[in-house]
Amino acid sequence: MPFQPDLTSAPVHAPATPISLIGVPTDIGAGRLGAAMGPDALRVAQLGPALSELGCDVHDLGNLAGPANQRKPRDAEHGDLRNFGEAVAWNQAVHDAVHGQLAAGRMPLMLGGDHSLAVGSISAVARHCRDTGKRLFVLWLDAHADFNTPDTSPSGNIHGIPVACLSGLGPRELTHLAGFAPALGPQSLCQIGLRSVDAQEKHLIKTHNIDVFDMRAIDELGMRETMLRALAPLAGCDPSQTHLHLSFDVDFLDPEIAPGTGTTVRGGPNYREAQLCMEMIADCGRLASLDIVELNPALDVRNKTALLAVDLVESLFGKSTLMRVPPAATA
C-alpha cells in the first residue's frame, strides 16, 4: 500500500512549551525611528494566539519601560556612540527580564525593538547557561554583521555593535552585563544571511574566527546544506544541556518580502528559503530563547513584515505541512 501522509500539523516542541513574550519598545540604537512600534505590530499580527494554537503556554508580559529616544548626537565621552546611557538602561532592563523568565523555567521571546537589545538578551542567556552548566549556541540571522566597535562604527548607532559587545569589545557597561566578558565566544556563534559588512567588520570576523554563512554561501550551498553546517556544532549534544538562542533580525529577509525594516539590503533569503531555515532550527529541538528585532511598522505595507515574521516563528515552533518525528526521538 503506498504511503499516505498525515496532513495535520503537529508542534515539534513539547505541547506545553512555556513562552513569555517580552516587548521592548525602543529604537534607541537605530538610525531611524519606528522600531519602537515593533512589539505591538507583532501583537497585531497575532503572534501570541498563533503560538497558543500550536500548543504553547504563552504569557504576554507586556512592554518593558525605559528612557525615550531623544536622538542625541555622538558622545565622545562614551565611545562616540549615540544614546549611550539610554541604550545601557534598556539593555539592563532586557537582561533582567530575560534572565528572570529563564530562571522561572520559561522561554523568553523578546519582541524588539532594534538589534542593540540583543546585548541584554544574550548576556542574560549567557549568564543563565553559566549558572546551569549548559552549552550556549547562538544563531544570528541578519543582513549585517553588527560587529563594529565604538572605534570603527561609521554612524555611532549602537545597533551596529552588539556582536562586538558580546565578544568583549566595547564599553564595559555593555560588555559585562552578564557579569563576565566575553558573554559569547566565537565557537558559540554562527551568523547567517550577511550581505552588508563594513571593512573593519570583515577584519574582526576573520581575526575572531566567527562562523559565517553569507548570501554567497547560501547561493552556492543552498539553504538546506547551509543549515546542516550551521547546526553541526549541536550534533551529539544532550538537548537538556544545550541552549540554542536565535537572534532574528527581519532584515535577514529579502526586502521584496519584508519591507518593514529600516536597514533593508537587497538579495536576502526568499520566503521558502526562510521557511526552511526556521523548520530546520525547529527540527534540531534545541531552541530555548528568541529575539525578533528591527521590525519597523512605519516602513511596512499593511503589516506585511510582521505577518511574515509570525508565519516564520510558527515554523520555529513546529508548524509544518506533514507530521514529523519529534527531535527527542531522533536525538
Q: Is 159 a catalytic residue?
A: yes
Is the bond preceding residue 162 a cis peptide, omega within 30 degrees? no
Count CA within 13 A, CB hemisphere, residue 285: 18
Q: Is 203 a catalytic residue?
A: no
DSSP-derived secondary structure letter, 151: T
Which one of 27, 249, 291, 314 is the catalytic residue? Answer: 249
Answer yes or no: are the C-beta atoms of 290 and 248 closer than 8 Å. yes
Q: Is 59 a catalytic residue?
A: no
Which one of 173, 201, 251, 291 is the catalytic residue? Answer: 251
Which one of 13, 95, 128, 159 is the catalytic residue? Answer: 159
Q: Is 151 a catalytic residue?
A: no
Which one of 13, 95, 99, 144 is the catalytic residue? Answer: 144
Q: Is 283 a catalytic residue?
A: no
**Where do runs of H (alpha helix) occur along the chain?**
38-44, 47-53, 84-103, 118-132, 162-166, 172-175, 199-208, 215-221, 223-231, 271-284, 304-316
Q: Is 96 a catalytic residue?
A: no
- The cell numbers describing 129, all together, are 547557561
Residue type, 29: G
d(CA 251, CA 294): 7
Which one of 115, 128, 243, 245 is the catalytic residue? Answer: 115
Which one of 146, 173, 254, 291 is the catalytic residue? Answer: 146
* Residues 6 or more apart in contact with residue 270 via CB below 8 angstroms: 254, 256, 257
Q: Is 208 a catalytic residue?
A: no
Q: Is 176 a catalytic residue?
A: no
**Residue among 29, 22, 20 at smallest CA distance from 294:** 29
Which one of 114, 273, 294, 314 is the catalytic residue? Answer: 294
Residues annotated as catalytic are 115, 142, 144, 146, 159, 249, 251, 294
